[in-house]
Amino acid sequence: MADCFSLQNIFENFKSCLSDNKEVYIKYYIAGWRELVSFMNTLGSLFSFISKDAVTKIQILEKFLTGENGTHYTTVQSMVKYELDNKLVDLTKGGNYPASGCRTLLRLHRALRWLQLFLESLRTSTENSKTSVMCSEAYNASLAQHQPWLIRKAAEMAFCTLPGRDAFFDVMNAGSHQEVIALLGEALPLISEVYQITEDLYAKNNLLDLP
């Protein structure tokens, strides 16, 4: 799997995510996540609980996208409108729609914030920087606040086993370390834009705390 992975592919998917009028295409959003998961699958069994959860969420969204109401799931904007108009989102726990598209995408959206922080940290890191520390700091500033103690501890244990900075740069398949840093500089504004558009949409519709 590591041979197929490339930072360029992630970059291309997040680039394709944005329509001319700045809507976010779910098809490319989940393709970007699939690419990231294929990378995470090379990191060893301690990461498999994370990758399984990400795959479950990707599959839920894929099912909506290819289902009979698939046209409503073309963009994050159309999904939010469709699910809210048709009362398909549980705004509190214990409702009829525990795995709505809005709720499922919110989990990946929070993880995208982690990715944004982690990649920015990698981009500006120095030779002595530790990936485990960068990963952990990005996690604590994003996903950790939404996850219970046990998951946080398991995640922290997994982070300790991450390969070093050089190995990370190599596996990105994007050339020399300087070239990887340059590509990260191009990719990050796109990832940030996708993140911010989704964040604003969810905030406007009071969806940021979906159970």
Cβ-based burial of 10 (10 A; exposed 0-12, middle 13-18, buried ≥19): buried
* Least spacing, CB of residue 118 vs ligand LTTT4AJV, in Å: 6
- What is the total count of residues that contact ligand LTTT4AJV (CB under 6 A)? 22
| Residue 165-184 contact track with ligand LTTT4AJV, rule CB under 6 A, x = bound | -------x------------
- Is residue 39 part of the contact set for ligand LTTT4AJV (CB under 6 A)? yes
| Residue 69-108 contact track with ligand LTTT4AJV, rule CB under 6 A, x = bound | --------------------------------------x-
* Least spacing, CB of residue 120 vs ligand LTTT4AJV, in Å: 12
Site residues for ligand LTTT4AJV, 51-70, by CB under 6 A, read: 53-54
* Least spacing, CB of residue 177 vs ligand LTTT4AJV, in Å: 13
- Is residue 114 part of the contact set for ligand LTTT4AJV (CB under 6 A)? yes
Q: Is the dihedral of CA 119, 124, 129, 134 positive or negative?
A: negative
* Least spacing, CB of residue 108 vs ligand LTTT4AJV, in Å: 6
Angle at 140 between CA 134 and CA 146, to 5 degrees: 145
| Residue 123-162 contact track with ligand LTTT4AJV, rule CB under 6 A, x = bound | ------------x---x---x---x---x---x------x
Q: Is 153 within 8 Å of 144 (Cβ atoms)?
A: no
